Amino acid sequence: ETKQKILSQKSFIVLKNTNYPTTPIKTAILSFGMSGRVFHAPFIHQHEGFELTGIVERTKNDAAEIYPYTKIYRNIDDVLNDDSINLIIVNTPTYTHFEYAQKALLKGKHIVVEKAFTTTAKEARILTDLAHEKGLVLSVYQNRRWDSDFSTVKQIVDTQQLGSIISAEFHFDRFKEALSLKLHKETPNAGAGLLQDLGPHLIDQAVYLFGMPKAVMADIRTVRQNSLVDDDFTLVLYYNILRVTLKSSLMVREPIPAYIIHGSKGSFIKTRADIQESALINNAKPYTDNWGQEPDTEMGYLHTMLNGKIIKEYVPTLKGNYGSFYDGIYDTIMHKKPCLVSGNDGLNVMKIIEAAQLSNQQNKIIAINP
């Protein structure tokens, strides 16, 4: 009775031209920290094509209070051994991704793996090969492709309003002088550090927009007092003519615009202003009419030449929608459509991260093995 009451209150999204199965995709989330609570559970819960069947919460009962109809598992092996589960969300600490993703694939589960995908390109390649061999869907959770700000940048670039792109600079900066209470983030391990945390977002956006670079140069630093992991980095991605600079730091109190794009015809500058993360933290429901609409005060500025005329104007921002990721997962599993963020996409990000680490160690430009 409780389950039926809760299900009746769900605000379901309707995908166009999609016939949902009688039984939706039964999905389990392997942890219920910020990633599970904020970025995954709300979308799975609200989406008619999925059923939030299980959540792993080792000791607490936070998930049970929010989703009382969902089964709470106390250990991951119980989820992996549950034959009713179709899809596993691997959102445990990065250094565990390979182990749990491999186990899930061997159990015949489709998987979504949080960023960073793995800790090495070798691990990423093993997982992508295994998923292909098993005929299973493997996707990497790159929700920042559907940020309102980046979606607008992509539209400007794709419609060639700037001409040929000459340089691009992406920033993802925060001010977090105090060390995180999450020990796996601050204790040196294969998955710790800012390059593995925010780096995958910036790298994926760059590759999604411009393709794989030919080489990378990196400066990776530790700048916070008492920090034991990297918390500031600059990467330069080399293309034929284009140069893409990716910067992130935990010691930026006043950030500059997150996207600065210069082309042969003009420039576009945009702040990082997507509101989805803050809305989700405040328990807002996705798939509503105004979801992902950032304030007009954050519109990007376009200065270019179109049809012989100089244009200087503020550009309305497209809506953000992290739900598009799960729309794509549904279509890939149920309708065999191409995966929006594939295992190969994740592998490419890991190749660039490894090359960046090597560049920092050797203080030189490192070629990317295609």
Residue 310 sits in a domain of what CATH number? 3.30.360.10
The answer to whether 278 and 39 have CB atoms below 8 angstroms apart is no
CB 351 within 8 A of CB 368: yes
Tell whether 201 and 69 lie within a shared domain.
no
CA distance to 31, 114, 281, 282, per residue, from 276 (Å): 21, 17, 9, 10
- For residue 155, which phi and psi values (nearest 5 degrees)? -60, -45
| Residues 66, 328: Cα–Cα separation, whole Å | 25
> Whole domain around residue 99: which residue ranges?
2-143+326-341
Q: Do 41 and 181 belong together in one domain?
A: no
184 and 298 share a domain?
yes
Residues 60 and 135 in one domain: yes
The CATH number assigned to the domain holding 81 equals 3.40.50.720
The pLDDT score that the predictor gives to residue 183 is: 86
Q: What is the pLDDT of residue 8?
A: 38
Digit-by-digit pLDDT tens for the chain (370 residues) are 444 444 434 443 334 334 555 689 999 999 999 999 999 999 999 999 999 999 999 988 999 999 999 999 999 999 999 999 999 999 999 999 999 999 999 999 999 999 999 999 999 999 999 999 999 999 999 999 999 999 999 999 999 999 999 999 999 999 999 999 888 889 999 999 999 999 999 999 999 999 999 999 999 999 999 999 999 999 999 999 999 999 999 999 999 999 999 999 999 999 999 999 999 999 999 999 889 999 999 999 999 999 999 999 999 999 999 999 999 999 999 999 999 999 999 999 999 999 999 999 999 999 998 7
d(CA 41, CA 64): 12
Q: What are phi and psi of 219, to 5 degrees?
A: -125, 110
Alpha-carbon distance 366 to 354, whole Å? Answer: 10
Indicate if 179 and 273 belong to the same structural domain: yes
Q: Is the pTM of this model over 0.75?
A: yes
Same domain (yes/no): 256, 178: yes
Judgement on whether residues 174 and 287 belong to the same structural domain of the protein: yes
Total domains in the fold of the chain: 2
Helices (H), the chain: 2-8, 34, 41-46, 62-66, 76-80, 97-106, 121-134, 148-158, 183-186, 194-197, 199-210, 276-281, 323-335, 343-362
Residues 68 and 181 in one domain: no
Q: Is residue 110 located within the same domain as residue 152?
A: no
Judgement on whether residues 231 and 360 belong to the same structural domain of the protein: yes
**164 and 256, same structural domain?**
yes
Q: Cα separation of 336 and 355, whole Å?
A: 33
Residue 254: strand, helix, or coil? coil
**Statement to judge: residues 316 and 205 lie in one domain:** yes
